[in-house]
Amino acid sequence: MSGEAMVEVVAGVIRDKTGRILLARRTEGRDLAGLWEFPGGKREPGETPEGALARELHEELGIDIDCGAPLIAVPQRYPHKRLRLDVRHVAAWRGTVKGHEGQALAWVPPHLLASYAMPSADIPVVAALLQPDRYLVTPAPDLSDATWLDALEHALANGVRRVQLRAPDSEPRRWHTLVDAAVDACRRHDVDVLVNGDIDLAREFDIGVHLRAAQLPALASRPLPADRRVAASCHTLAEIREAERIGCDFIVVGAVAGTPTHPGATPLGWAGFAALREDTALPIYAIGGLGEQELDIARAHGAQGIAAIRAFWPGTP
Ligand SMILES: Nc1nc2c([nH]c(=O)n2[C@@H]2O[C@H](COP(=O)(O)OP(=O)(O)OP(=O)(O)O)[C@@H](O)[C@H]2O)c(=O)[nH]1
């Protein structure tokens, strides 16, 4: 990793009464000119993130704000600099929004954010605003099918919004029946569902696919159309580059902490996770010995959220 200094940037998610979000366009002559961004700027020495955001939004837009909760802090490497983009919700603001530095402004409905060209650090920010922060990976159906489906229903009722159906050693016919029932349950809850590894099964059920890193080199491009999710599990920067090459929508990276299922593996730790995060714009779920209680620390290191088996599966310790 380069020792080049990290520039600390803070930006705000400002909403109007209808829920639209404010973007500002970077003016000509600046780095990344023409791209849209969340209003904000560099922290000055001695400033808190909240203080820097209040100052920047006053200078750039003429508004006074109450800083709200952190959304995500994204470490990102650009060709000539490294920065950490610390994005805060703006809880309340007063005044009339106006571009005081000649910048164009746009109030954007959240579902249209992804259609604005933005710097790469903003890709994970938009994902953090729009996509689930927990990604359940199902355990193998060791007990009865009914027990497994019942646990899935409970996880969905508990608010899991994205699921990877995974059963490494299941008998194919039994797995097909279970996938059928699980997809049905996920559709009833309007939950995003992917199946591990099996592209044909994903096509048959018209769901997403979660690829193993070893599957990536053989694929020329993403195996499913743009409206079906393609994800991958990655452990190294080389694997992340493969996921980018085929056009994955998001990835899972780990193991961040130690896990009983991989006792010999050296965990990445949060610093190792953030170092990989810096080199890609893909949304990343952190996995490996993590649960709901790590969501805040995950977001503080640029993760979309947490992927887990045990932590999100009812009835497992
Ligand atoms: N405010 C803001 N800055 C962002 C976002 N995404 C992103 O990569 N940045 C980068 O964070 C830095 C913000 O610093 P700044 O707004 O004070 O920019 P500047 O023109 O003075 O800096 P420059 O010297 O890099 O051109 C810029 O390098 C900008 O490209 C974002 O969503 N909002």
Does the pLDDT value for residue 317 go beyond 80?
no
Q: Closest ligand 1 atom, CA of 76?
A: 8
Going from the Cα of 13 to the center of ligand 1, the distance in angstroms, rounded, reads: 15
pLDDT of residue 313: 95
Any atom of ligand 1 within 6 Å of the Cβ of 36: no
Return the best residue to mutate from 36, 72, 85 for the ligand 1 pocket (most ligand atoms within 8 A of CB). Answer: 85
Please give the mean pLDDT across all residues of the chain.
Answer: 95
Tokens of 140: 């193998």
Going from the Cα of 39 to the center of ligand 1, the distance in angstroms, rounded, reads: 9
Residue of the nearest CA to atom 15 in ligand 1? Answer: 41
- Please choose, from the candidates 207, 208, 203, 145, the residue with its C-alpha nearest in 3D space to the C-alpha of residue 177: 145
ipTM: 0.94
Distance between CA 35 and CA 216 in Å, rounded?
31
- 112-150 pLDDT, tens per residue? 999 999 999 999 999 999 999 999 999 999 889 999 999
Can you give the pTM of this predicted structure? 0.95
Position 164: which residue type?
Q
Q: Closest ligand 1 atom, CA of 38?
A: 32
Any atom of ligand 1 within 6 Å of the Cβ of 12: no
Q: Closest ligand 1 atom, CA of 39?
A: 1
pLDDT of residue 2: 54
- Please choose, from the candidates 222, 154, 218, 219, the residue with its C-alpha nearest in 3D space to the C-alpha of residue 189: 154
For residue 146, give the 3-state DSSP assignment: helix
Rg of the chain over CA atoms, in angstroms? 21
Tokens of 118: 């933005």
> Helices (DSSP H) in the chain: which residue ranges?
49-61, 122-130, 145-157, 172-188, 199-205, 237-246, 269-278, 295-300
Name, in order, each residue with C-beta under 8 angstroms of 239's C-beta and a sequence gap of 6 or more. Answer: 213, 216, 232
Q: What are the residues facing 67 on neighbouring strands? A: 90
Tokens of 279: 């080199």
Q: How many CB atoms lie within 10 A of CB 98?
A: 10
Going from the Cα of 279 to the center of ligand 1, the distance in angstroms, rounded, reads: 17
Please work out, in degrees rounded to the nearest 5, the angle formed at the alpha carbon of residue 288 by the alpha carbons of 284 and 292.
Answer: 75
- Please choose, from the candidates 40, 30, 16, the residue with its C-alpha nearest in 3D space to the C-alpha of residue 97: 16
Tokens of 129: 């605003």
Going from the Cα of 238 to the center of ligand 1, the distance in angstroms, rounded, reads: 28
Domains with residue ranges and CATH for the chain = 6-120 (3.90.79.10), 134-312 (3.20.20.70)
Banded pLDDT at 316 (limits 50, 70, 90)? low
Tokens of 36: 């849209």
